Structure 1
Amino acid sequence: MDRLYGTALRLTGNPDDAQDVVAEAVSKAWSKLDDLRDLESMEGWLFRILNNAFVSQWRRRRTRDEVEREAVETSDAGDFSLFQQLHQPFLLWWGTPEQQFLNDVLQEDLQKALDALPDGFRVAIVLVEVQGYTYEEVSALLEIPVGTVRSRLSRGRALLQKALWQQASEAGLVHGRHPSDSGAGDST
């Protein structure tokens, strides 16, 4: 249950939503328990149900009107955005004190960038980078080809990198264009 909750928390970024997703997934799993043919595949089966519950919840809660309303509500919030208020620790693979300090400083920006990713990219990144699953395990969990997992990770990482570069640029921490943009050598 802890792994289900941990994954749900990283997907939703909010403890209450994570509990809702886990509860929905467990309820669905219980009602479909007779469909499970191989007990050895139970973990993958549960995570597929969790992923589907997350996507369903996301679609129900994130209508276009809600997104626009949140943008208006947080535009005048100064330094405290909705994403910062909902901030949850994640991406704990950085080990040195210097890296941990940077992680602590940048967590809110990382969570904001992660939350902005399309569902497929975010789910793949959370499962591989945060939960430590292999590409093959994610492929089995999500019932998609390994190539699709790799593609989603590659595109998701690129989107994260650009979003974080933009945030760092706006904060005056980096100058010039993102290296993947045309004119990559520009240091102005």
Structure 2
Amino acid sequence: MSSVLVGIIAVILFIGLAIVSSLYLGGQFNTASAKSQALEMTNKASQLNQATALYWTEQGRPVVARSSVRSLLEKGYLKKVPVNPYIDRGGAPFRMLFSGDVYSANYYADVIIVDMGQDEDAKEVCSAINRQASHSGTIPEIDVSEGARVSAMTEAPTGCFQMHDVGIYGEAGPHSYIMYSRL
């Protein structure tokens, strides 16, 4: 009987500790998670950046826009293809594109973009990416008149923005949060 009573008291103390720690840790604990996810995303983009730079150095030309990231793996410039952790939540794979027209394969790639989806977690990570990139924590939204041009949003070396109402078919969904890194 006493062991049952001790077990019940232990469970009550554990629940109380969980409640107190969730109240105590609060917002800073949650923003630390967004900061680490933002760092993970920028590190993956940086790996692609370095692989494309090495490709350019050894091949004597930049990567053509819309080339598959897998092509860098097949040619030995990447050990493994970076995976978007938001792919199961509406995100898309990392893409090497031309910022003047993301549908065009007639130019060299000048930006890496990755769609992180539209949920609240992606929004927090997008904001953290902008803070880490020395932007404010605000997330600019690309104007729908830009269509498939993302050059206005990708002037800084790295950052994050929100897609317009229409999205870019096959590249970014409407209102998705888009992380980018200039090549």
Q: TM-score, normalised by structure 1?
A: 0.31
Q: TM-score, normalised by structure 2?
A: 0.32
Larger radius of gyration: 2
